[in-house]
Structure formats: structure tokens, C-alpha cells
Structure 1
């Protein structure tokens, strides 16, 4: 996600400044070969950044889906670092939002299916799988550090991408987070409160409350 400065960028800027100093008209500058080259370079750079976005997501999500908690922690740390770098640029935020339209690159469902899943859901109900042909796949429960990281990743996704908030509600985010608040430790509770705020920012109930407050302010004035 940290791109090196292209070697030709300084040359393009110098040529652009020279053309501007020459007093050329805006129409001529737009149709000039330099403008065409700059447009092509910008398009190629955007495609390159999008490939890096998808690669970072695939790498982080692969570990976040792992059976072992330490691998999921590694994936969540990678995703959190990725989201922090994405937030530094409007272009990368736009590309991240574009990537979340692809099902296998969506972050929020993976969080609720693995790291934020209730430990009781993974309990083995019977031993019938011992006599079956295929062994039962057992996933290690999430640790406190893993749950806290997952909540931070959830917060980042909801702040950067509105559709991620909708996905969170589809996975019953509010009941899940309220359960974490009541059963987990201090580390998870702090991250959980931040995640709740990020989810509720664009909720319909919150928007209705804001409109009611604004209406009261207008009436009082």
C-alpha cells in the first residue's frame, strides 16, 4: 500500500509547468500529448493501487478465516494496518469501497463468522463425527486480543464504507456487540463501544433522532 514515487513524476510536473508558463490555452493543454500521457498514467496508477488493495485484502482475509486464533490475529493486524493506510487518501478509500462490492473481499462477514462468533457456537454437540468418513473441523475460540482487533477492524470498515454498516446489521451486530459488552473484559469493551458508535452513526434511528433535535432547535429559535 505504500507506493514508491514514480521516476517520471518530476519530469511530468516540470513539463507541465513549462507548458503553463508558455501561455497555452486550456483547450490546447487538454488536447496536448502531455495531458493524454498524464491521464493514461493516472489510470494505470489507479489500477495498480486497486491491485494492491485487493492483494492486501486477500492476504489479510485468508488468515482471518483460519482455524487457529494466532493466525486470525495476524490477519486482523494486517487488515487493521491496511485500513489505516487506506484512510490517508480519498482515492484509496474509494477503491476500498469498490472492493467491498466483491463478496470474497468483504471484511465484515468474515469478522462475524470467525472472530466475533460466540464461543458456544463452536461446541461439539456429539461424537458421531469420530465414526464418520470426514473428520469434524474444529476452530479454536477467539481470544481477548483477537476479539479486540476484530472490533477495531469493524470500526474502521464502518467509518470508511457505509455499506459495511449495512452488512454489520445483517449479521446482527448490535446484539453481538451488546453480548461482548456484558461478557468480555475491559480490552474488548473499549473497542466494542467504539465499534457501536461507528455502526450507529448512519442508523435510521440515529438519523431520526438528529432530525427531531434539529426540528426542536428550529422551533425554539
Structure 2
């Protein structure tokens, strides 16, 4: 999201500089400046909602290449708003609106687990042959799509802390641990960063990580000589950070209930 400077905002900076040193009550242009700032905020909010609406529409698509394009767009959008507190605030407001929430779309499409039951319902069920409506086939997520979805997940959790709660509702820790143990190097490296962002200031996700024996999963990857050596080396730093998070959370809980 790259906003162009609106024409009606020209001269506002000059007005602000000219009015430096004078009180706002005595400045006749103060109301104009306030109106322009309000219009600017409304304009940015429309741009934020438009970027999310168009990105999430393709992120729900049945074809992987459309979802991949949408994830790139959403990731670029998150990068563009991360430099301004005002745009981050507007993004946080949009995440309270169900049809603009990013996390549910990620776990329902790009990060959706395809187990045996899912494959059987798609392939073994022949009821669509005798029905009127055609069967909808969804292409599986590619490696690039999963890696991008994990980066988007990481960005949402860092910019919008409540997204960790939404991720917990979708069993995010279990999904990410499955990706970490079954996918390739590209997804595994992105998965580590996403795991850390999930567990920062999130006790439910930290408890899920302990219940799923996450430390043992990561330790097995470190000991596995078939895993890429660079990835095994990169695993050491996240593990120490995760252990520090869990230890700090346990210590805080013990002090609170003492």
C-alpha cells in the first residue's frame, strides 16, 4: 500500500510552519487543518480495508497460484504499514471485523492440513457424479505458498497481538509443528520465526507448545543429520528464545499465585 499525497493536503505543511508559535485557538486555519487530517485518516482507512479485501478474496481461491499472489500482496501490505503507528492502529481496527481477519483465512486455506480423511472425502466420495452441482477441487498448497503464509502469520502476530488468540483457536502451534517436522527447508525456516511470534506474550500458545512436546520436536530436528546443516544451526537460537519465554511465563505465574 503506497499512498500518493492528496492534492487537497498541499499547503497544510506550510500553514503549520507559518503558525508555529501561535496558539491553536488564535489560528484561523486550525479547523481546516483538523478537517484535512480527519479526511486523510479516513482515506488511509479505506486504503487499508481495500488492500485487505482484495488480498483476502484471492487468498480464499481454489487455485494455489491465486493464493500465492494474494499472500505476496498481503505481505507487501504488512511491510508497508509497519513503519507507521497510525497505519498499524488502523490495521488493528480492521482485525476486529470478521470478514477482514487474516488469520482464519490462512488456516482455512493455505495452512489447512490435508489428512487421509480429507483426501478420502475428496477422491473416494462419488456422490458428486450423481448430483447436479459439480465437485469443487482445491489445489494443494505449494512450498512457496506455505512459506509465504507463515510469513504473513508472523507479521500479523507482531503487528496485532490479539492475532495470537485467533491463531490459538485454530490450533496454530500443532499445525506449525507438523509443518516443521514434515516440510522442506523453505517452510521450516519460516515456521521457526512464526512459532516465536505466536508465543510472545501468549500463555495459551506456550502451553500448547509444551503439550505438543515442541522442544523434543525441535531437538529431534537438531540431532537429525539428514536435516540441512544451516537449518540445524539456525534452530539453536529459536530454541533458546522459546525456552526463555516458557521459563519466564512459568516464573511469572508462580510469583502471581504465591
Partners of 1:189 and 1:95 lie apart in 2 by: 31
Alignment of structure 1 residues 17-28 onto 2, 5 Å: 17-20=17-20, 24=22, 26=23
The equivalent position to 1:94 in structure 2, one of 89, 96, 111, is 89
Would you say the 8 A contact 1:87–1:93 is kept in 2?
Answer: yes
Alignment of structure 1 residues 170-181 onto 2, 5 Å: 170-181=169-180
Structure 1 partner of 2:247: 209
Of the two structures, which has the highest relative contact order with CA contacts closer than 8 Å and spacing of 6 or more?
A: 1
Structure 2 partner of 1:140: 139
Structure 2 partner of 1:33: 28
The one-character-per-residue Cα deviations of 1:159-200 (angstroms, maximum 9, x if unpaired) are 000111110000000000000011100000000000000000
Shift of 1:208: 6.8
Q: Quick check: 1:4 aligned with 2:4?
A: yes
The one-character-per-residue Cα deviations of 1:84-137 (angstroms, maximum 9, x if unpaired) are 001011011000000111111000000000000112364223212111121221
Structure 2 partner of 1:52: 47
Partners of 2:95 and 2:12 lie apart in 1 by: 33
Alignment: residue pair count? 211
Would you say the 8 A contact 1:177–1:192 is kept in 2?
Answer: yes
Distance 1:183 1:114, change over 3 A: same
Distance 1:215 1:53, change over 3 A: closer
Structure 1 runs (4+) greater than 3 angstroms displaced:
6-10, 205-209, 211-216
The one-character-per-residue Cα deviations of 1:25-61 (angstroms, maximum 9, x if unpaired) are x3xx235331111111111100000000010001111
Partners of 1:215 and 1:97 lie apart in 2 by: 28
Distance 1:30 1:196, change over 3 A: farther
Shift of 1:62: 0.8
Would you say the 8 A contact 1:63–1:75 is kept in 2?
Answer: yes
The one-character-per-residue Cα deviations of 1:186-221 (angstroms, maximum 9, x if unpaired) are 0000000000000000112666732555899xxxxx
Would you say the 8 A contact 2:203–2:249 is kept in 1?
Answer: no
Distance 1:72 1:212, change over 3 A: closer
Distance 1:130 1:5, change over 3 A: same
The one-character-per-residue Cα deviations of 1:136-158 (angstroms, maximum 9, x if unpaired) are 21111000000000000000000
Partners of 2:180 and 2:97 lie apart in 1 by: 31
Would you say the 8 A contact 1:122–1:139 is kept in 2?
Answer: no
Distance 1:144 1:80, change over 3 A: same
Q: Give the alignment's TM-score, normalised by structure 2.
A: 0.76
